[in-house]
Protein backbone atom coordinates (compact mmCIF):
# COMPACT_ATOMS: atom_id res chain seq x y z
CA UNK A 1 0.00 0.00 0.00
CA UNK A 2 1.39 3.43 -0.90
CA UNK A 3 0.70 5.91 1.87
CA UNK A 4 0.37 9.57 0.94
CA UNK A 5 2.42 11.88 3.19
CA UNK A 6 0.03 14.76 2.43
CA UNK A 7 -2.92 12.94 4.01
CA UNK A 8 -3.79 12.77 7.70
CA UNK A 9 -6.33 10.96 9.84
CA UNK A 10 -7.37 12.57 13.13
CA UNK A 11 -8.66 10.44 16.00
CA UNK A 12 -11.51 12.77 16.81
CA UNK A 13 -13.87 12.90 19.80
CA UNK A 14 -15.24 16.43 19.60
CA UNK A 15 -13.41 17.49 22.76
CA UNK A 16 -11.05 20.44 23.22
CA UNK A 17 -7.88 18.45 22.54
CA UNK A 18 -8.88 16.48 19.46
CA UNK A 19 -10.68 19.50 17.94
CA UNK A 20 -7.50 21.57 18.31
CA UNK A 21 -5.66 18.66 16.66
CA UNK A 22 -8.21 18.60 13.80
CA UNK A 23 -7.43 22.24 12.96
CA UNK A 24 -3.69 21.65 13.47
CA UNK A 25 -3.93 18.81 10.92
CA UNK A 26 -5.86 21.01 8.47
CA UNK A 27 -3.01 23.51 8.63
CA UNK A 28 -0.26 20.94 8.08
CA UNK A 29 -1.77 18.45 5.62
CA UNK A 30 -3.60 18.72 2.30
CA UNK A 31 -6.29 16.15 3.01
CA UNK A 32 -7.70 15.46 6.46
CA UNK A 33 -10.22 12.89 7.64
CA UNK A 34 -11.73 12.40 11.08
CA UNK A 35 -12.40 9.06 12.75
CA UNK A 36 -14.62 8.93 15.82
CA UNK A 37 -15.26 6.01 18.15
CA UNK A 38 -18.47 5.02 19.91
CA UNK A 39 -17.18 2.90 22.80
CA UNK A 40 -19.97 3.10 25.34
CA UNK A 41 -19.06 6.50 26.74
CA UNK A 42 -21.83 7.83 28.99
CA UNK A 43 -22.45 10.81 26.77
CA UNK A 44 -22.75 9.57 23.24
CA UNK A 45 -23.89 13.09 22.36
CA UNK A 46 -20.14 13.74 21.97
CA UNK A 47 -20.23 11.71 18.74
CA UNK A 48 -22.93 14.03 17.35
CA UNK A 49 -20.92 17.06 18.46
CA UNK A 50 -17.83 15.65 16.73
CA UNK A 51 -19.77 15.00 13.52
CA UNK A 52 -21.17 18.55 13.57
CA UNK A 53 -17.73 20.14 13.95
CA UNK A 54 -16.29 17.96 11.16
CA UNK A 55 -19.19 18.79 8.82
CA UNK A 56 -18.91 22.54 9.40
CA UNK A 57 -15.17 22.31 8.86
CA UNK A 58 -15.52 20.33 5.63
CA UNK A 59 -13.67 17.28 6.99
CA UNK A 60 -14.95 13.82 5.99
CA UNK A 61 -16.16 12.11 9.15
CA UNK A 62 -16.61 8.49 10.01
CA UNK A 63 -17.63 6.77 13.22
CA UNK A 64 -16.83 3.22 14.29
CA UNK A 65 -18.66 1.20 16.89
CA UNK A 66 -16.17 -0.26 19.35
CA UNK A 67 -18.43 -0.99 22.33
CA UNK A 68 -16.51 -4.22 22.92
CA UNK A 69 -13.67 -2.14 24.47
CA UNK A 70 -15.73 -1.10 27.48
CA UNK A 71 -17.33 -4.55 27.74
CA UNK A 72 -13.90 -6.14 28.20
CA UNK A 73 -13.33 -4.58 31.61
CA UNK A 74 -15.40 -3.40 34.56
CA UNK A 75 -14.97 -0.56 37.02
CA UNK A 76 -14.68 2.33 34.59
CA UNK A 77 -16.73 5.37 35.60
CA UNK A 78 -16.74 6.77 32.05
CA UNK A 79 -18.81 3.87 30.78
CA UNK A 80 -20.59 2.67 33.93
CA UNK A 81 -23.11 5.20 35.25
CA UNK A 82 -23.29 3.53 38.66
CA UNK A 83 -19.67 4.41 39.51
CA UNK A 84 -18.67 7.75 41.02
CA UNK A 85 -15.86 9.43 39.08
CA UNK A 86 -12.39 9.73 40.64
CA UNK A 87 -11.00 13.26 40.72
CA UNK A 88 -7.40 12.06 40.51
CA UNK A 89 -5.24 8.98 40.51
CA UNK A 90 -5.48 6.54 43.39
CA UNK A 91 -1.91 6.06 44.58
CA UNK A 92 -0.08 4.44 41.70
CA UNK A 93 -3.30 3.37 40.03
CA UNK A 94 -4.96 5.33 37.22
CA UNK A 95 -8.26 7.06 38.13
CA UNK A 96 -11.42 5.06 37.41
CA UNK A 97 -12.07 7.25 34.34
CA UNK A 98 -9.35 5.16 32.66
CA UNK A 99 -10.64 2.82 29.93
CA UNK A 100 -8.02 0.05 29.69
CA UNK A 101 -6.65 -0.34 26.17
CA UNK A 102 -8.65 2.58 24.75
CA UNK A 103 -5.85 4.38 22.94
CA UNK A 104 -4.26 1.06 21.96
CA UNK A 105 -7.48 0.00 20.23
CA UNK A 106 -8.29 3.46 18.82
CA UNK A 107 -4.86 3.94 17.24
CA UNK A 108 -4.66 0.35 15.96
CA UNK A 109 -8.06 0.68 14.29
CA UNK A 110 -7.09 4.13 13.00
CA UNK A 111 -3.93 2.68 11.42
CA UNK A 112 -5.82 -0.07 9.59
CA UNK A 113 -8.35 2.55 8.41
CA UNK A 114 -5.53 4.89 7.36
CA UNK A 115 -3.83 2.11 5.41
CA UNK A 116 -7.08 1.38 3.57
CA UNK A 117 -7.32 5.05 2.57
CA UNK A 118 -3.63 5.53 1.75
CA UNK A 119 -3.09 7.93 4.67
CA UNK A 120 0.40 8.15 6.17
CA UNK A 121 -0.20 10.51 9.11
CA UNK A 122 -2.27 9.73 12.19
CA UNK A 123 -2.98 12.56 14.63
CA UNK A 124 -4.04 12.10 18.25
CA UNK A 125 -4.60 14.63 21.04
CA UNK A 126 -2.97 12.70 23.87
CA UNK A 127 -0.78 14.67 26.27
CA UNK A 128 1.77 13.62 28.83
CA UNK A 129 1.92 17.08 30.40
CA UNK A 130 -1.45 16.95 32.10
CA UNK A 131 -0.71 13.30 32.84
CA UNK A 132 -3.52 12.26 35.09
CA UNK A 133 -2.52 8.65 35.41
CA UNK A 134 -3.43 7.34 31.96
CA UNK A 135 -0.50 5.16 30.87
CA UNK A 136 -1.67 5.17 27.24
CA UNK A 137 -1.24 8.96 26.96
CA UNK A 138 2.51 8.78 27.50
CA UNK A 139 5.01 9.54 24.76
CA UNK A 140 6.83 6.22 25.31
CA UNK A 141 3.61 4.30 24.63
CA UNK A 142 2.80 6.26 21.47
CA UNK A 143 6.34 5.82 20.10
CA UNK A 144 6.40 2.11 20.75
CA UNK A 145 2.93 1.66 19.25
CA UNK A 146 4.04 3.57 16.16
CA UNK A 147 6.89 1.08 15.71
CA UNK A 148 4.58 -1.86 16.42
CA UNK A 149 1.97 -0.71 13.89
CA UNK A 150 4.60 -0.22 11.20
CA UNK A 151 5.94 -3.72 11.87
CA UNK A 152 2.43 -5.18 12.01
CA UNK A 153 1.51 -3.90 8.55
CA UNK A 154 4.91 -3.28 6.97
CA UNK A 155 4.06 0.41 6.60
CA UNK A 156 5.53 3.81 7.40
CA UNK A 157 2.82 5.44 9.48
CA UNK A 158 3.73 8.56 11.42
CA UNK A 159 1.74 9.21 14.60
CA UNK A 160 1.62 12.94 15.44
CA UNK A 161 0.90 14.18 18.98
CA UNK A 162 0.84 18.02 18.76
CA UNK A 163 -0.27 18.30 22.41
CA UNK A 164 2.14 15.79 23.97
CA UNK A 165 4.37 18.34 25.72
CA UNK A 166 2.03 21.30 26.15
CA UNK A 167 -0.39 21.95 29.01
CA UNK A 168 -4.04 23.00 28.83
CA UNK A 169 -3.20 26.73 28.78
CA UNK A 170 -0.84 26.18 25.84
CA UNK A 171 -3.50 24.09 24.12
CA UNK A 172 -5.82 27.12 24.30
CA UNK A 173 -2.99 29.25 22.93
CA UNK A 174 -2.54 26.82 20.03
CA UNK A 175 -6.27 26.98 19.23
CA UNK A 176 -6.03 30.78 19.29
CA UNK A 177 -3.01 30.76 16.96
CA UNK A 178 -4.90 28.46 14.60
CA UNK A 179 -7.75 31.02 14.61
CA UNK A 180 -10.28 28.64 16.18
CA UNK A 181 -10.37 29.77 19.82
CA UNK A 182 -14.12 30.49 19.76
CA UNK A 183 -15.01 27.26 17.98
CA UNK A 184 -13.01 25.24 20.51
CA UNK A 185 -14.43 27.20 23.45
CA UNK A 186 -18.08 27.06 22.39
CA UNK A 187 -18.54 24.00 20.20
CA UNK A 188 -16.49 21.27 21.86
CA UNK A 189 -17.49 18.85 24.61
CA UNK A 190 -14.95 17.96 27.29
CA UNK A 191 -17.28 17.76 30.31
CA UNK A 192 -17.88 14.34 31.86
CA UNK A 193 -21.47 15.44 32.49
CA UNK A 194 -22.12 15.97 28.79
CA UNK A 195 -22.45 19.77 28.76
CA UNK A 196 -20.97 21.54 25.74
CA UNK A 197 -18.66 24.58 25.85
CA UNK A 198 -17.70 25.67 29.37
CA UNK A 199 -19.47 22.56 30.73
CA UNK A 200 -20.75 21.81 34.23
CA UNK A 201 -17.68 23.42 35.80
CA UNK A 202 -17.51 20.78 38.52
CA UNK A 203 -16.23 17.53 37.01
CA UNK A 204 -12.45 16.83 36.77
CA UNK A 205 -12.44 17.48 33.00
CA UNK A 206 -14.17 20.86 33.41
CA UNK A 207 -11.82 21.90 36.22
CA UNK A 208 -8.75 21.07 34.13
CA UNK A 209 -10.18 22.82 31.09
CA UNK A 210 -11.23 25.95 33.01
CA UNK A 211 -7.95 26.16 34.88
CA UNK A 212 -6.08 26.12 31.55
CA UNK A 213 -8.45 28.66 30.00
CA UNK A 214 -8.12 31.12 32.91
CA UNK A 215 -4.35 30.72 32.81
CA UNK A 216 -4.23 31.41 29.08
CA UNK A 217 -6.62 34.39 29.22
CA UNK A 218 -4.46 35.89 31.98
CA UNK A 219 -1.33 35.49 29.81
CA UNK A 220 -3.14 36.99 26.82
CA UNK A 221 -4.18 40.08 28.78
CA UNK A 222 -0.59 40.65 29.82
CA UNK A 223 0.63 40.98 26.22
List residues binding Zn ion (CB under 5 A). 191, 193, 199-200, 203, 206
The CB-of-204 to Zn ion minimum distance in angstroms stands at 8
C-beta of 162 vs 199, nearer to Zn ion: 199
The CB-of-192 to Zn ion minimum distance in angstroms stands at 5
The CB-of-207 to Zn ion minimum distance in angstroms stands at 8
Residue 210, class by beta-carbon neighbours within 10 Å (0-12 exposed, 13-18 middle, 19+ buried)? middle
C-beta of 163 vs 206, nearer to Zn ion: 206
C-beta of 114 vs 206, nearer to Zn ion: 206
The CB-of-211 to Zn ion minimum distance in angstroms stands at 13
The residues with which 122 forms a beta bridge, in sequence order, are: 9, 159
The residues with which 63 forms a beta bridge, in sequence order, are: 36
CA-to-CA distance for 137 and 120, rounded, in angstroms? 21
Question: What are the distances in angstroms from CA 183 to CA 16, 67, 86?
Answer: 9, 29, 29
The CB-of-201 to Zn ion minimum distance in angstroms stands at 6
Smallest CA-to-CA distance from 41 within 190, 184, 155 is with 190
C-beta of 118 vs 197, nearer to Zn ion: 197
C-beta of 111 vs 206, nearer to Zn ion: 206
Contact 159, 142 (CB under 8 A): yes
Smallest CA-to-CA distance from 69 within 109, 39, 92, 48 is with 39
Amino acid sequence: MILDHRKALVVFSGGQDSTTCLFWAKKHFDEVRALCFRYGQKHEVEVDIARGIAERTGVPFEEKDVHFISQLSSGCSLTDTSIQMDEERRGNLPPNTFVPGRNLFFLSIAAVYAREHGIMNIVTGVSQTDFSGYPDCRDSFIRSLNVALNLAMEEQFVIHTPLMWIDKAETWKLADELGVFDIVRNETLTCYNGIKGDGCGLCPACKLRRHGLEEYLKQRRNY
